[in-house]
Amino acid sequence: MTPQALVPPAALPSPARRAEPGRAIILMICATALLAGTTLIAKALGTDALGAALHPLQVSFGRFLFAWVVIAAAIAVLRPKFSKPDVKTHVIRTFCGWAGVSLMFAAAASIPLSDATAISFLNPVLAMILAIPLLGERVGRWRWLAAAIAFAGAMILIRPGSAVMQTGALLALGAACALGLELIFMKRLSGREAPAQILLINNSIGLAIAGCAVIWVWQAPTGAQWAGMIALGCVMACAQVFFINALARADASFITPFSYLTLVFAALYDGVVFGVIPTAVSIMGALTIICGAALLAWREATHRRKG
């Protein structure tokens, strides 16, 4: 999972607020800590840490089920105004998001969380490339340079052609592709619907898709696994709230780079809970991907200011 798997900045036409950069940073740090926590919980559920390993599709079902409960309860209390939704775009976007989440959970169970998280940061770069055929966007040389740098980092982590190339890294790459495609369809919703509406519809459709998929792999969870799935959904819902509120209090170009702290928290959690220490190759690959993603974010911010 990545911050882009929450709600992209372009999809947040929130009412204007007074800029609060300090509070925005704190909120984003909380969001990244919680987001990294979701991959940690997913790893515990997908391994034998809490009982017989659950299938990634079952872990994904738990994430959507309990996130939906939290979001639906909040909306029932707050009663925000909804508009007519673009159902087709919501369905396609949610299917891509569900696929990305499921692949990410599978990756988190088999490779270090820092590697899976780093590879997932490719999704904005992949979204940029997919926007060429799908949205007719033009991509300049700076964007291509950012993409090349990010992909070089991914190749460092995936190690193509070597004996140490892992299936988990390919699963994380697949997750980045699916989440990148999700961002494309999120652009079509940008500014058209309120964040609360997007969150509720996304989690409702995601729950329906996950519920159909989990039938084929369902196994009775242990009490600890039920608790883990409840925590997974609740932590994800809270991460979404912190992320949205951070973006509402500062420019996206200022606050989004702090989302890369997700990688730091993922490595920290993996080391403390599972005793996994990032290797030099992992650190090099992660830093390369972050450089590419950061260059893309800087270029986008510069482009918007000139526009």
Which residues lie closer than 8 Å to 59 by C-beta, 6 or more apart?
42, 45, 46, 102, 105, 229, 232
Residue 12 belongs to some domain of the structure: no
Count how many domains the chain has.
1
Which residues lie closer than 8 Å to 148 by C-beta, 6 or more apart?
292
Residue 262 belongs to some domain of the structure: yes
Residues 79-120: pLDDT tens digits?
Answer: 888 989 999 999 999 999 999 999 999 999 988 888 888 888
Segment 238-263 mean pLDDT: 77
Listed in order, strand segments (DSSP E) in 8-159 are: none
Two tokens, residue 229: 């799935």
Residue 14 belongs to some domain of the structure: no
Higher-pLDDT residue of 27 and 257 is 27
Higher-pLDDT residue of 276 and 14 is 276
- pLDDT value at 291 more than 70: yes
Higher-pLDDT residue of 231 and 302 is 231
State the pLDDT confidence band at 11, using cuts at 50, 70 and 90: very low
pTM of the model: 0.82
C-alpha to C-alpha distance for 35 and 1, rounded to whole angstroms: 7
Residue 158 belongs to some domain of the structure: yes
Two tokens, residue 105: 């959970």
Residue 164 belongs to some domain of the structure: yes
For the chain, give the percent of residues with pLDDT over 70. Answer: 87
Residue 218 belongs to some domain of the structure: yes
Which helix (H) or strand (E) covers residue 54, if one does?
none
Residue 13 belongs to some domain of the structure: no
The domain of 280 spans 3-7+19-306
Residues 189-214: pLDDT tens digits?
Answer: 766 888 788 889 999 999 999 999 99
Identity of the amino acid at 13: P
State the pLDDT confidence band at 18, using cuts at 50, 70 and 90: low
- Report the half-sphere exposure of 200 (CA within 13 A, side-chain side): 18
Residue 195 belongs to some domain of the structure: yes
CB 122 within 8 A of CB 150: yes
